Amino acid sequence: MADSLGIVILAAGKGTRLKVDIPKSLCPMLGKPLIDHVLSNLDSFQNEYELQAKISVVVGHKKEEVKKSISSNWADVSFVTQEEQKGTAHALQCYFEQNKDAWDSKYTLVVCADTPLIGKEEFGKLFKALQDDEDAQASAAVFNTPNPTGYGRIVMGGQGFDIVEEKDASEDQRRINLVNSGLYFFRTSHIKEHLGSIENENKSGEFYLTDLFKKSFNVKAVNYEDSYKFLGINNLVQLEEASLIKQRNIILKHQLAGVRFINSSSCYIEESVEIGAGSVVYPGVTLEGETTIGQNCILESGVVIKNSEVQNNCSIFANSYLEKSLIKEDVRIGPMARIRPGSEIGAGSKIGNFVETKNAKLDKKVSVSHLSYVGDANIGENTNLGCGFITCNYDGVQKHLTTIGKNSFIGSDSQMIAPITLGDEVYVASGSTINKDIPSGGFGIARGRQVTKEGMAKRFLKKKD
Ligand code: UD1
Ligand code: MG
């Protein structure tokens, strides 16, 4: 049996007004392409109302790129091609031509790819308005705005209303503040009856979908108070505006769940991020992707964390940068540390300033307090790596592993020429370049012997005139 609701997302347009080289529907907003926001809002709507509609996206400009991006996250979405963009009504025509089953759906929902804030409540209200009025043929979401520039104006009259695009509007019509959001529900029979007769006699020479609304039709304009939800992204100013609105809601959710922000407006937190109660976020923090922060953590200013897990009671000090890593509980990192992909920092460990780790597994209570590089390494519990410790992991072709056991002490300014293995309770003297394995309990020293000549310094100390 065919679905009683078909969903079409219009995404074939160039997005010329954005003035960027990527298709508008893929423009990033809070870490996700614009259209992914629309798709996930539709998903929530369908879950809430127990619907299982088929979703089709009309693609055109850079269609392969758009299809690839959407398919990678949304397996059930299908595509319709609009080779030449002749307007929104033409886009809908392409949908029905390439999707014959779509005529069987009782209702058709049309939404633009550039309205990322329309949520399940807005979809639900508009759907209900049409379902509850058996005589109505379509419902359009409209709202009042002090700045109607760019939107189609709603001109009420007769049984319904006209939607007049900005370009075609008279002076008087341009002063109308009631505008079209670009979200509609139709009885599919209404589309079948009128879509074919839409003409392109207007300033743009385009076939307007908005011509499915007329004063002579029984169509409903459903007014929404929360006009910001319908913000359409046509330029980069609106993109930032929508992004900040969504960001505010994300932060609000964390604040109400017990996360303390010192200056939330300066932070960038993506929707996928989780933060435990009791944590404090300083100004200018960036948290991206699949990132989880535990309870009672401190994230100081300038911290950037991407796709990482930071467990409870950690302090990440100013300007530290973490990527694809696991930080276990009670760890201190930074200031100014770089934790690169594949790092696993054991509970109670300490990573100090100007330390870089990469693909490094540090067990519990390891200390790397200053100026070090720990790459491709396994470091045992309770081992101390002194200031200026370096794993020489790369021979110019391949990366090699450094293994150091537990309870060891590696003196400052030591290098490990990998591959190399040091056992437990090893002691390495400062300034050593270690290129041979050291067994457990062993002492290693590898540096030139010191020679001291008394009184000889004056030969080298130059006198200042
Ligand atoms: C549209 C509405 C306008 C409304 C506004 C709300 C029309 C004619 N106008 O204007 O009344 O106030 O949205 O944001 O519908 N698209 C295609 N194929 C095309 C043309 C456009 O798929 O041939 C897609 C675009 O990719 C976009 C959507 O349709 O996602 C809307 O197009 P856009 O150019 O943004 O229309 P607006 O000028 O914003
Ligand atoms: Mg638009």
Quick: pLDDT tens for 281-316. 999 999 999 999 999 999 999 999 999 999 999 999
**Residue ranges of domains in the chain:** 4-230, 236-444
Of all residues in the chain, what percent carry a pLDDT higher than 90? 98
159 and 216 Cβ atoms separated by less than 8 Å: yes
pLDDT at 2: 40
Q: Classify domain 4-230 at the CATH topology level.
A: Spore Coat Polysaccharide Biosynthesis Protein SpsA; Chain A (3.90.550)
Whether ligand 1 lies within 6 angstroms of the CB of 152 is answered as yes
206 alpha carbon – ligand 1 mean position (Å): 11
Token pair in block for residue 26: 């893929």
Sign of CA dihedral 78, 82, 87, 90: negative
Please tell me which residue in 61, 90, 254, 370 is annotated as part of the active site. 370
Whether ligand 1 lies within 6 angstroms of the CB of 209 is answered as yes
Minimal-distance CA residue to ligand 1 atom 19: 87
CA distance 389 to 436: 16
pLDDT at 132: 96
Stretch 435-444: mean pLDDT: 98
Stretch 348-374: mean pLDDT: 98
Give me the DSSP letters along 417-443. ESSEEE-TT-EE-TT-EE-S-B-TT-E
366 alpha carbon – ligand 1 mean position (Å): 57
pLDDT band at 462 (very low <50, low <70, confident <90, very high): confident
Give me the DSSP letters along 164-212. E-GGG--HHHHT--EEEEEEEEEEHHHHHHHGGG----STT----GGGG
Stretch 37-57: mean pLDDT: 97
CATH architecture observed for domain 236-444:
3 Solenoid (2.160)
Tell me: pLDDT of 65 over 80: yes
Stretch 23-39: mean pLDDT: 97
Token pair in block for residue 221: 């304009």
Stretch 436-447: mean pLDDT: 98
- Give the pairing of strands 107-112 and 178-187: antiparallel
Whether ligand 1 lies within 6 angstroms of the CB of 190 is answered as no
pTM across the whole model: 0.93
Among the residues of 3-82, which ranges form H helices?
34-48, 63-73
Domains 4-230 and 236-444 share a fold: no
Strand partners, 185: 109, 139
Of 342, 426, 37, nearest to 27 by C-alpha is: 37
- Which of 70, 98, 112 has most ligand 1 atoms within 8 Å of CB, for mutation? 112
345 and 359 Cβ atoms separated by less than 8 Å: no
181 alpha carbon – ligand 1 mean position (Å): 10
pLDDT band at 176 (very low <50, low <70, confident <90, very high): very high
Residue 22: what are its φ and ψ, rounded to 5°?
Answer: -100, 150
Summarised one tens digit per residue, pLDDT across range 97-125 is 999 999 999 999 999 999 999 999 999 99
Tell me: pLDDT of 3 over 70: no
Minimal-distance CA residue to ligand 1 atom 35: 234
pLDDT at 138: 98
pLDDT band at 463 (very low <50, low <70, confident <90, very high): confident
Q: How far apart are the first and last CA of the chain?
A: 100
Of 308, 256, 309, 316, nearest to 285 by C-alpha is: 316
Whether ligand 1 lies within 6 angstroms of the CB of 10 is answered as yes
User: Residue 56: which H helix or E strand, with range?
Assistant: strand 54-59
pLDDT at 44: 97
Whether ligand 1 lies within 6 angstroms of the CB of 93 is answered as no
Summarised one tens digit per residue, pLDDT across range 314-333 is 999 999 999 999 999 999 99
Mean pLDDT (the chain, rounded): 97
pLDDT band at 1 (very low <50, low <70, confident <90, very high): very low
Sign of CA dihedral 107, 166, 19, 306: negative
Query: Could you check whether the bond before residue 341 is cis, i.e. omega within 30 degrees of 0?
Result: no
Minimal-distance CA residue to ligand 1 atom 28: 112
112 alpha carbon – ligand 1 mean position (Å): 7
Residue 190 is a catalytic residue: no
- Give the pairing of strands 321-323 and 107-112: unpaired
Of 113, 109, 239, nearest to 184 by C-alpha is: 109
CA distance 31 to 28: 6
Whether ligand 1 lies within 6 angstroms of the CB of 390 is answered as no
Minimal-distance CA residue to ligand 1 atom 14: 232
Of 55, 186, 221, 38, nearest to 109 by C-alpha is: 186
Surrounding ion ligand 2 within 5 Å at CB are: 114, 232, 234
pLDDT at 203: 96
